[in-house]
Structure 1
Amino acid sequence: MQRRSIKPFRAILLLGLGLGLGATAALARDAALLERGKYLMNGVVACGNCHIARGEQGQPLFEKGLSGGMVFDEPVFKAVAPNITPDPETGIGKWTDAQLAKAIREGVRPDKSIIGPPMPIEMYRHISDQDLAALIAYLRDQPPMRNAVAKSTYAMPLPPSYGPALASVAAPSVKDKVKTGEYLARIGHCMECHTPRSPQGRLEMDKLGAGGQTFKGPWGESVARNLSSHANGLKDWTDAQISKAIRDGVDRQGKPYKPPMGYGFYRSIKDEDMAALIAYLRSLSPMP
């Protein structure tokens, strides 16, 4: 009788161990996803460069987190970075993961309205499913901050959509350094600033990386430099000089660049990702 009674006990014990191991594995996956989201957010994607609340002189108010308010005053739009903390009234607290994903990658809010520039939706359409989930996990993990911001206004027509609905997006193979660099440059929206815009505010993709956009702010004016392989661009720069410019915000002579480039975020980019980014920049066609 004793030996027969052990069997159900053993089955229950094994079931419990299986459930425990499954829960542990799930927690490990969640932790890894959150860690990836943290790396992306505080590195190459640098959402905080626009969405961190700012003071009167443009200084980041880190204690207010990603509660928005930064103003982008351009000839064809006056955009205000929204609150993307989990606050239910002024942020994204009531949005589902699917709604967040559609807003980030397709530029469509839950109310079906279209998100306009400078949110780089054309670039974010390339975010892989895994990285998108990681970014959403990070946003969910942030403290909610109540901060109502003004709506953006546009003197230019917004597109009805940025393309067809996306079912699934895969990341490139890490074995292909240039493709990996292109992927990182896209989700880091490098070309959103470093590509000229037409008078209608659209990126001139046939001049990818040629620079020339002017950004006004408390710092005065700054002009996005040429990132192509042209002599006016990065042709004569070493990899170390490019890396230092991206991470530290200084030119080859050590002179500081002006904002709005997110140097404080980019210094967190891992060496292997920086090498891939540089390989991609080297591959750009020369643009005068």
Structure 2
Amino acid sequence: MTKTGSTKARARWRALVWTGLAVAVAVGVGAGSVIWKQSQIDMPIAKPGQDNAALVERGRAVALASDCVACHTSEASKPFAGGMAFDTPFGKLYSTNITQDPVNGIGTFTDAEIVGSVRNGISQHGRRLYPAMPYTSYTGMSDDDALALVAYLRTIEPIDSKPPENTMAFPFNQRWAMAFWNVMNFQAGRQLPVAGKSDEWNRGAYLVQSLEHCGECHTPRNFIQGLSHPNLGGGDLGTWKAYDISSGQSGIGSWSAEELFTYLKTGAVHGKANAAGPMAEAVENSLNHLPDADLHAMVTYLRDLPVSGTPSSAPARTGQGQAYTGTTTLRARHPQYDPDSDALGGEVMFNANCATCHAVTGKGVGEYPRLFGNSVLGAAEPTNLVSVLLRGVHRKVDDQEVFMPGFANLSDAQLATLSTFLFKQFGNSQVQVTAAQVAKLR
């Protein structure tokens, strides 16, 4: 839920959502009992004699696996104090303060209210949450993990910081309407093991579907932003695309178990993929901190997922980049080079901005990634490439920091020309990028 639409797009969204709400109201009597059931905040029972230190440590691991810090931290000096902005088709949301501050945080929440927020999307005093908080996935969290998470959250030092007010337009600012959204898009309940599957497979399924909530990004959404189908078949994040991660060739079918493990652990597989944007954040804040056994479990589950059939990404055409020789003396070949000109060719801009790190052949220099064979350049559309060029890449895993500067100083026309060149030379040559597409993503 990170896409801001134009005025016309927002008008269409409003019409669609009003239609959806009307449908929900039409079935109000039948839905009433469902809404009531969902409003019951369940609270697991603590076990007598439970070691609190061990419980807190488990809760810390649950918070890491759930990537709580990524969404609830807008300033590094104020972890968990909220304020992270989410641009949605319906307005702007800000994440909440989940420190123990009694005024702006959750210091006065009961344990049941914390669990209700996480697993049912119902906060203190029955206040309904928007699904930017992924309770639609967290609802699968086990009772033991929910108890542990509460114990850990109680240890977070209070920070007196009030997030900005949401700017949702009417009727989307009416939280009561989320009751009807839930009827159509939310099924509360714990995730249970699948009979006949190994413990590793079930652990992977639990991590992918519930704690890591991968589907919140990697699953398509319907017209009112509820999770749709196919499961993990690729999702639209506005300025980023979350690719198909099912087991087919449009997903991770060509990935080995080792490659997938390495990607989850580090965010990079040489010559294949480099995490950027929201995925880089997931690797840095969450996946990198998981035990290797959990990452192997996720790999086992993902490689067994049914093929989605969603062509969100195509295999990169690895043969093209190897034939390119480029040029190392830009001004000798292009004496009229003007970095401010929109008339520059893609090769000129590639050599001026990219070749130092990626080499004129696209083979990469040292630790800098190879371009041919890269999944972003093999994609069927340009969203992620353009977003990388605009915003750059920043990812820190352990003591290794990966950084690529953004090139937002280039014009829309220049970035479109450069992007088209990159696709044609190193990846899916069918992709043509326009200045209008760049402007929209900018």
Q: How does 1:242-281 map to 2 (within 5 A)?
A: 242-253=260-271, 255-261=273-279, 262-264=282-284, 265-281=286-302
CA shift for structure 1 position 120: 1.1
Q: How does 1:1-288 map to 2 (within 5 A)?
A: 26=49, 29-42=51-64, 44-54=65-75, 61=76, 63-152=77-166, 153=168, 158-160=178-180, 161=182, 169=190, 172=193, 176-185=199-208, 186-204=210-228, 206-215=229-238, 221-253=239-271, 255-261=273-279, 262-264=282-284, 265-287=286-308, 288=310
In structure 1, C-alpha distance between the alignment counterparts of 2:106 and 2:157, rounded to whole Å: 12
**Contact between 2:246 and 2:253, CA under 8 Å: does it hold in 1?**
yes
CA shift for structure 1 position 76: 3.0
Q: Which residue of 2 aligns with 1:218?
A: none
Q: Kindly, what percent of the aligned residue pairs are identical? A: 31
In structure 2, C-alpha distance between the alignment counterparts of 1:280 and 1:253, rounded to whole Å: 24
**Contact between 1:50 and 1:70, CA under 8 Å: does it hold in 2?**
yes
**Contact between 2:62 and 2:211, CA under 8 Å: does it hold in 1?**
no
CA shift for structure 1 position 230: 1.4
- In the alignment, residue 134 of structure 2 is paired with which amino acid? P
In structure 1, C-alpha distance between the alignment counterparts of 2:187 and 2:277, rounded to whole Å: 34
How many equivalent pairs are there?
247
CA shift for structure 1 position 172: 4.1
**TM-score w.r.t. structure 1 length?**
0.78
User: RMSD between aligned alpha carbons?
Assistant: 2.4
Larger radius of gyration: 2
**TM-score w.r.t. structure 2 length?**
0.52
**Contact between 2:265 and 2:295, CA under 8 Å: does it hold in 1?**
no
Q: 1:39 to 1:111 in 2, by over 3 A?
A: same
What secondary structure, in the 3-state scheme, does the structure 2 residue paired with 1:253 have?
coil
Q: Which residue of 1 aligns with 2:427?
A: none
Q: 1:165 to 1:240 in 2, by over 3 A?
A: closer
In structure 2, C-alpha distance between the alignment counterparts of 1:240 and 1:224, rounded to whole Å: 21
In structure 2, C-alpha distance between the alignment counterparts of 1:51 and 1:259, rounded to whole Å: 16
Deviates more, 1:139-148 or 1:70-79: 70-79
- In the alignment, residue 243 of structure 1 is paired with which amino acid? F
Q: Which residue of 1 aligns with 2:416?
A: none
CA shift for structure 1 position 249: 1.8
If asked which structure has higher relative contact order (CA below 8 Å, sep 6+), I would say 1
Q: Which runs of 5+ in 2 are unaligned?
A: 1-47, 311-442
